[in-house]
Homo-oligomer: A and B are copies of this chain.
Amino acid sequence: MSNLNTATPIEVIEIESGEENKTIDTCVGVWNALSELGADRKSLMINLGGGVVTDLGGFVACTFKRGIKYINVPTSLLAMVDASVGGKTGVDLGALKNQIGVINSGDMVLIDTAFLDTLPQNHLKSGFAEMLKHGLIYNLKYWNKLIDLSKLTMNDLDELIYESVIIKKDIVTKDPLETNERKHLNFGHTLGHAIESYFLSEDNKEELLHGEAIAIGMILECYLSAELLKFPKEDLEHINLVIKKMFRTVDIKPSDYDPIIELLKYDKKNEHGNINFVLLEAIGKPKIDCIVDNELIFKAFEYYKNNLELENN
């Protein structure tokens, strides 16, 4: 901050990193800090950090004195391609992801990929999962570019990030309030979020990054797509292979299935008690409001698990 040449007073408010701090309690801390530092309605908040900072910071800004301006400067790949575009702000409520928030786009998003130089490999991959999702729901061509990893350099990544942001922006602009197309962005997230919440709330489970959970969710939901929407089986196998090559395979036990499915009832896309999935008819051709019965979800977990056993043999 010290390099900014301005007469405007700048104050820094820091928060603890990690999804477990994306809470209302952290918001109360930031709201109090803003009050104490004399922030007023003309103040500008600059959210510099990963998705937790941009999601939580956006919510704090939108609700402080009923709303002040804010800018997002995402420093993680995930926040660059996902969290900082489209105006979804919010925090978790207990184990329930993003249960509290508002939709508000903020005044600017400033993406500088130089921040990625210091990002750990697993966090880079976590962001890459959302880019893969953009390929699957929007465009076979973009998907094919992404998986041609052999040629991937930092320079290519710049361009791929730009394309990802454009895809998300295009979808969000068509349907800002998520009544239709915007739901496509939830592909992989119905089960992915539930898995993420479950692993976050269970003390004896390893920590899963958001993108790691979404990667599993995408395999599961491609399986459901193949069973329900004639999504090509060879595409399912191919996607399963690509994702498992990039992400460690996570041990989800049969005893975990029920509590994960239990969490689906808190999914924000649900209506009138039904759990609504976004599935794929083909790569680039999503279908919203698909109802899936629990039996088939068990099978999807088994599909993910069987492959785990195969790999381990």
Q: Which residues of A contact B (CB under 8 A)?
A: 24, 27-28, 31-32, 35, 38, 40-42, 59, 62-67, 88-90, 93-94, 96, 98-103, 265-266, 268-273
Q: Is the CB of B63 within 8 A of A93?
A: no
A28 to B310, CA, bound (A): 45
Q: Is the CB of A272 within 8 A of B64?
A: no
A269 to B41, CA, bound (A): 7
Q: Is the CB of A90 within 8 A of B103?
A: no
Q: Is the CB of A41 within 8 A of B268?
A: yes
Q: Is the CB of B35 within 8 A of A93?
A: yes
A272 to B68, CA, bound (A): 13
Q: Is the CB of B66 within 8 A of A101?
A: yes
Q: Is the CB of B94 within 8 A of A32?
A: yes
Residue on B nearest A64 in the bound complex, by CB: B100
Q: How many copies does the complex hold?
A: 2
Residues of B near A35 (CB, < 8 A) are 93, 96, 99, 266
Give 10 closest A-B pairs by Cβ, nearest first: A65-B268, A40-B270, A66-B101, A42-B271, A63-B100, A66-B103, A31-B93, A40-B271, A63-B102, A66-B102
A92 to chain B, nearest CB (A): 11
**A interface, by DSSP: helix, strand, loop or mixed?**
mixed
Could you list 21 A-B pairs, sorted by A, with CB under 8 Å? A31-B93, A31-B99, A32-B93, A35-B99, A35-B266, A38-B273, A40-B268, A41-B268, A42-B271, A62-B102, A63-B90, A63-B102, A64-B99, A65-B268, A66-B88, A66-B90, A66-B101, A66-B102, A66-B103, A67-B102, A67-B103
A265 contacts which of B38, B42, B88, B96 (Cβ < 8 Å)?
Answer: B38
A90 to B265, CA, bound (A): 28
A211 to B141, CA, bound (A): 63
A94 to B35, CA, bound (A): 11
Residues of B near A100 (CB, < 8 A) are 31, 63-64
Residues of B near A272 (CB, < 8 A) are 40, 42
Residue on B nearest A100 in the bound complex, by CB: B63
Residue on B nearest A91 in the bound complex, by CB: B63
A24 to B38, CA, bound (A): 20
Residues of B near A265 (CB, < 8 A) are 38
* 11 further contact pairs, Cβ within 8 A, besides A32-B93, A63-B100, A63-B102: A24-B28, A35-B96, A38-B265, A38-B273, A41-B271, A59-B63, A63-B101, A66-B90, A66-B98, A66-B101, A66-B268
